[in-house]
Amino acid sequence: MNSQLAQSLKFVGLLGVLARPVIVATILFGLWRALTLARISPRSCKIFWWATAILLIAWLSTVWTLAAGGTFESFSTVSPASEAAMVVATLILPVAVALIAGGMSVTMRAALDVAPLSWLVGVQVYRTLGFIFLRLWSHGLLPGYFALPAGIGDMIVGVTALPLAFALRSDSRLARRLALGWNVLGIFDLINALTIGITSTLAQPTSNIAPLLSYPLVMVPAFGVPLAFVLRGLSIRQLRRRVIPGFAPGRGSNLQTVGTA
């Protein structure tokens, strides 16, 4: 590994160490504010927030520990079928559990119904960090057929997040529809990047370790991508609720005082 490449990986690792805790803290702060805006009893508010905080921090800590310890690198030595099963377990399962649990929770539904639409869109500004893919591609670590669409797609999402969040403050129908389309297109972008990444990983000879399975890059598909899916799924649910004619925060059964989480 040349010195320029080593410096790039060190930069990516340091950026992740600084950015991931900030992203998690921002999400938890937004959740707390949404819970306090909803008609939820203080006890239920605290229980739900602490449960979510513990699960989110535990998820990040577990993935981070496994990634730093080289667990994901061992995926390159197993059969393609086993590797696909591991991908499902580490990527799809957390997303499914989070979205299903969030949809079933009366507390979460009440919080989403009163939270400003701009929050779940604006927080995705962190996706501008996708420029790391372009930097690593320029240094020869990642192939262009993966790094270019993944990096450019992430940066487009991140750059447009804040202007779209600002537009949503007007709560106009046009802004809501644009945000809905933005989320849907973003999901397709994630699926496309994930598919290309998995394909390139499976194509690696068993004697080599795919760059995307190595720390710190593996933190992107192992934590960053699932988190983006969850945020977009919750944002789509929130936007669809607000598009319903006659719906307005503060009205409806979901905004009755919640006594339990």
- Domain boundaries of the chain, sorted by first residue: 3-255
CB 99 within 8 Å of CB 231: no
Reference 38, options 90, 102, 116, 92; nearest CA is 116
- Does the pTM surpass 0.85? The reply is no
pLDDT at site 204: 57
Ordered per-residue pLDDT tens for the chain, 261 residues: 556 667 777 888 888 889 999 999 999 999 999 999 998 899 999 999 999 999 999 999 999 998 888 887 776 666 655 666 666 677 777 787 788 877 778 899 899 999 999 999 999 999 999 898 888 888 878 888 888 988 999 999 999 999 999 999 988 889 999 999 999 988 988 888 877 776 766 555 544 556 777 888 888 888 988 999 999 999 998 998 776 544 555 444 344 444 444
CB 226 within 8 Å of CB 174: no
Q: Please give the structure tokens belonging to residue 61.
A: 């800590």
pLDDT at site 158: 92
pLDDT at site 200: 64
Give the largest Cα separation in the chain, rounded: 61
